[in-house]
């Protein structure tokens, strides 16, 4: 009976990720902002910066709220922010409305990140479930990627069938409302709160304690740096590869019954669907990679492999096959690394501070991305080839650092 209950709850954890990733607008967000709404790339950059700034400012407080006042409660607020942001994006006609929508979206992201992962770890610890956190979290992340793949394929139908792209935001509210109800159905004990009463002074003090804990604890500090550096590198680079693929793919019209614009929409959906299918497979099987090679080796070698493919990419920018394969490999590496890093960070942190620590990791990622993005953009304006060579060299430097001064040398093998 208990095993059945555990399976149901772990399935719910997976369904949370599946529904969360049914953002039908996502493949077409840049298209909607620039082509449909007429925003300049500079304005789009401002919107993205606003999102990252909100995440950066709210990330640590949101983790403290989750640890101190309840994780379920925080996720309910998270989905309310998301639903409000989708509604505003649907109605927006002026730039200031897009700004408001992005602020609300950033609040949703900040309240979500780290909280659900900490909830999964709490559940596994409470019930002494023997499966490794990498296996369970990898499985739930795999469901998230399947949700993204499903979203990409269904969005192709929606974007051609619906009168306007903006309606994708409206349709995305449905799975988010379902996800909100799913969160409410979680066991009450997963909403464990250290305090039932909100006192601002205690809230600020707890924020300070969480930051001190994360940066004074040597192993936690180095794990956070390891995770956020790779994540921010991925976030900064991937947006420069996708347009290369789309530009080259538009030289061939595969669907003659549709217009050039509709072909572009179909290509976007298919590319994302394939990427997420591969990512799902990578996440689900991350624990198998660890069983064969161990966590330390996998995390170290991905720095080297990423550096190598970046340099290869620099010299094959005119080959759609090479560019696409490298784009896929980046997602594979990320989705193998992510479950491993979550388990390492979770195991190195005190259970009562996991949500806060994981939120700090997300905050560090946002900060590093905000710093790297303009630098990468400046280099890209001069030479895409130079950009990928520099990124490749930096990745290899991190590999050398991890090889000789690895933070994982004292970490036990995860199995």
Q: What is the pLDDT of residues 274-313, one digit of tens each?
A: 887 887 777 777 767 767 777 778 888 899 999 999 999 9
Confidence of residue 392 (pLDDT cuts 50, 70, 90): very high
Q: CB count, 10 Å around CB of 72? A: 21
What would you report as the CA-atom Rg of the chain, rounded to the nearest whole angstrom? 21
pLDDT at 166 over 50: yes
Instruction: Identify the DSSP state of 283.
Output: H
The angle that helices 133-161 and 2-20 make with each other, rounded to 10 degrees, is: 40
- Residue bearing the bigger pLDDT, 350 or 105: 105
On whether residue 413 sits in a domain, the answer given is no
Buried b (16+ CB within 10 A) or exposed e, 181-191: ebbeebeeebb
Q: Is residue 415 part of a domain?
A: no
Q: Using CB atoms within 10 Å of the CB of residue 3, give its burial: 0 to 12 exposed, 13 to 18 middle, 19+ buried.
A: exposed
Give the number of domains in the chain: 1
Angstrom distance (rounded) from CA 214 to CA 63: 12
Query: Taking the mean position of all CA atoms in its chain, how far away is CA 400?
Result: 26
In a domain, residue 164? The reply is yes
Determine the straight-line distance between the first and last CA of the chain, rounded to whole angstroms.
26
What pLDDT is recorded for position 9?
A: 87
Q: How confident is the model at residue 271 (pLDDT cuts 50, 70, 90)?
A: confident
Instruction: Give residues with Cβ within 8 angstroms of 119, minimum separation 6.
Output: 13, 71, 72, 75, 186, 190, 355
Q: Is 59 exposed, middle or buried (0-12, 13-18, 19+ CB in 10 A)?
A: buried
For the chain, what is the mean pLDDT?
81
pLDDT digits (tens, 9 = 90+) for 31-86: 788 778 888 867 887 888 788 788 877 876 777 777 777 788 889 999 999 999 99
> Is residue 65 a contact partner of residue 307, using CB atoms and an 8 Å limit?
no
Kindly state the tokens that stand for 232. 């921010």
| 238-252, 306-320, 374-388: least confident range | 238-252
What pTM did the predictor assign? 0.70
- How many other C-beta atoms can be found within 10 angstroms of the C-beta atom of residue 164? 11
Classify residue 194: in a domain, yes or no: no
CA dist., res. 7 & res. 1, Å (int): 10
Instruction: Residue 171: give its domain's CATH number.
Output: 1.20.1250.20
Q: What is the spatial distance between Cα 415 and Cα 412, in angstroms, rounded to a whole number?
A: 9
Asked if residue 249 is part of any domain, the answer here is yes
DSSP helix/strand/coil, 408: coil
**Containing domain of residue 387, as a range?**
2-189+202-405
With pLDDT > 70 as the criterion, what percentage of the chain qualifies? Answer: 85
Please indicate, yes or no, if residue 411 is contained in any of the structural domains. no
**Among the listed residues 310, 304, 303, 302, the one whose alpha carbon sits nearest the alpha carbon of residue 282:** 302
d(CA 303, CA 56): 25
Residue matched to tokens 């002026």: 94
Cα(315)–Cα(97) distance, integer angstroms: 42
CA distance to 153, 166, 290, per residue, from 340 (Å) = 29, 37, 8
DSSP state of 409: T
Given the structure tokens 């217009």, which residue do they identify?
A: 259
Region of residue 114 (left: phi > 0; alpha: psi -120 to 50; beta: else): left
Mean local confidence (pLDDT), 202-215: 71
Residue 367: per-residue pLDDT:
81
Res 24: pLDDT: 92
Task: Please determine, for residue 407, whether its predicted confidence score (pLDDT) is greater than 60.
Answer: no
H/E element, 46: helix 41-69
In this predicted structure, the answer to whether residue 146 has a pLDDT above a threshold of 50 is yes
Measured over the CA atoms of residue 55, residue 224, residue 398 and residue 145, the dihedral's sign is negative
């Amino acid at each position: 009976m208990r095993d059945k209950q555990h399976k149901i709850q772990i399935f719910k954890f997976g369904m949370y990720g599946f529904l969360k990733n049914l953002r039908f607008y996502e493949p077409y967000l840049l298209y909607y902002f620039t082509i449909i709404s007429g925003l300049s790339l500079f304005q789009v950059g401002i919107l993205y910066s606003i999102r990252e700034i909100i995440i950066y400012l709210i990330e640590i407080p949101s983790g403290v709220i989750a640890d101190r006042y309840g994780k379920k409660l925080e996720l309910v607020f998270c989905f309310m922010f998301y639903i409000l942001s989708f509604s505003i994006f649907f109605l927006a006609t002026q730039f200031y409305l897009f700004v408001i929508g992005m602020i609300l979206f950033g609040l949703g992201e900040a309240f979500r990140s780290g909280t659900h992962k900490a909830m999964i770890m709490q559940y596994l610890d409470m019930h002494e479930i023997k499966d490794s956190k990498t296996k369970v979290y990898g499985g739930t992340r795999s469901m998230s990627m399947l949700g993204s793949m499903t979203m990409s394929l269904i969005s192709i139908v929606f974007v051609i069938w619906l009168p306007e792209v903006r309606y994708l935001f409206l349709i995305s509210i449905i799975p988010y409302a379902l996800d909100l109800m799913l969160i409410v159905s979680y066991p009450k004990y997963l909403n464990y709160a250290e305090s039932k009463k909100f006192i601002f002074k205690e809230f600020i003090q707890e924020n300070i304690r969480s930051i001190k804990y994360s940066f004074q604890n040597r192993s936690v500090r180095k794990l956070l740096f390891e995770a956020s550096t790779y994540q921010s590198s991925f976030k900064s680079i991937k947006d420069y590869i996708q347009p290369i693929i789309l530009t080259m793919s538009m030289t061939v019209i595969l669907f003659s019954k549709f217009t050039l614009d509709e072909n572009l929409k179909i290509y976007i959906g298919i590319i994302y669907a394939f990427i997420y299918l591969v990512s799902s497979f990578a996440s689900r099987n991350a624990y198998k990679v660890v069983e064969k090679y161990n966590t330390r080796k996998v995390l170290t070698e991905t720095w080297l492999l990423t550096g190598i493919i970046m340099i290869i990419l620099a010299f094959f920018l005119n080959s759609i096959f090479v560019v696409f394969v490298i784009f896929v490999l980046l997602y594979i590496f990320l989705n193998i690394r992510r479950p491993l890093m979550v388990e390492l960070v979770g195991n190195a942190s005190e259970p009562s501070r996991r949500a806060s620590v994981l939120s700090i990791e997300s905050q560090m990622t946002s900060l590093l991305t905000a710093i790297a993005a303009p630098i990468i953009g400046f280099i890209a304006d001069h030479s895409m080839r130079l950009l990928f060579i520099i990124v490749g060299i930096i990745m290899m430097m991190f590999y050398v650092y991890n090889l000789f001064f690895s933070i994982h040398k004292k970490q036990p093998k995860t199995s």
